[in-house]
Amino acid sequence: MPKHILRLIVLIFGLLVVAVIGKELLTDKSFYRFGHYRADSVPEIAAQIPVLQTAASCQECHAERFEKWSVAKHKTVTCENCHGAALGHPQKIAKLPIPTDAVKLCTRCHEALTGRPDTQPQVEVPKHNKGRQCVACHNPHVPEE
């Protein structure tokens, strides 16, 4: 067998050995115990404190607004989609932010885009708002008003 072929075979075999050893050293021991992920991550994630609350956590203090919202078209949009994560509210964070750029916020769901379902209300922003904020005409908690 020619020397250059033998060297190539030894090189390929050496790279294969390095790859197998590297995989063993760099792969966590709990990987693939329950599937294609690190099994030790499950209790780590479960131990984390949830950052996002639910709209039900807003109900106690904001009953009137919650009642209107819960029967409106936006009832599937949780409060935190617009106001941010409520972890620590109201104990540590007195007030959640009120969005200042409603156009930027509302167009995430309502800007006319190809592929959005016809049931999703869509607007062509430059033609629709003429430079005004959405909340000048629309109540975000009860958009039907």
Tens-place pLDDT, residues 29-82:
999 888 888 999 989 999 998 888 888 889 989 999 899 899 998 888 989 999
**Tokens linked to 131:** 């430079």
Residue 112: inside a domain, yes or no?
Answer: yes
Residue 36: inside a domain, yes or no?
Answer: no
Nearest to 62 by CA among 138, 141, 135: 141
Q: What is the pLDDT of residues 94-113, one digit of tens each?
A: 888 888 899 999 999 999 99
Residue 12: inside a domain, yes or no?
Answer: no
- Output the pLDDT for position 145: 67
Q: State whether residue 123 is helix, strand or coil.
A: strand
> At residue 111, what are phi and psi to the nearest 5 degrees?
-70, 135
**Tokens linked to 142:** 């009860």
Q: Contact at 8 Å (CB) between 99 and 79?
A: no
Residue 101: inside a domain, yes or no?
Answer: yes
Q: How confident is the model at residue 24 (pLDDT cuts 50, 70, 90)?
A: very high
Q: How far apart are CA 73 and CA 4, in angstroms?
A: 72
Residue 45: inside a domain, yes or no?
Answer: no
- Output the pLDDT for position 129: 80
Residue 66: inside a domain, yes or no?
Answer: yes
- Output the pLDDT for position 49: 87
Q: Tokens 């409520």 — which residue?
A: 86
Residue 93: inside a domain, yes or no?
Answer: yes
Structural domain that includes position 84:
56-136
Q: How many domains does the chain have?
A: 1
pTM over 0.85: no
Residue 111: inside a domain, yes or no?
Answer: yes
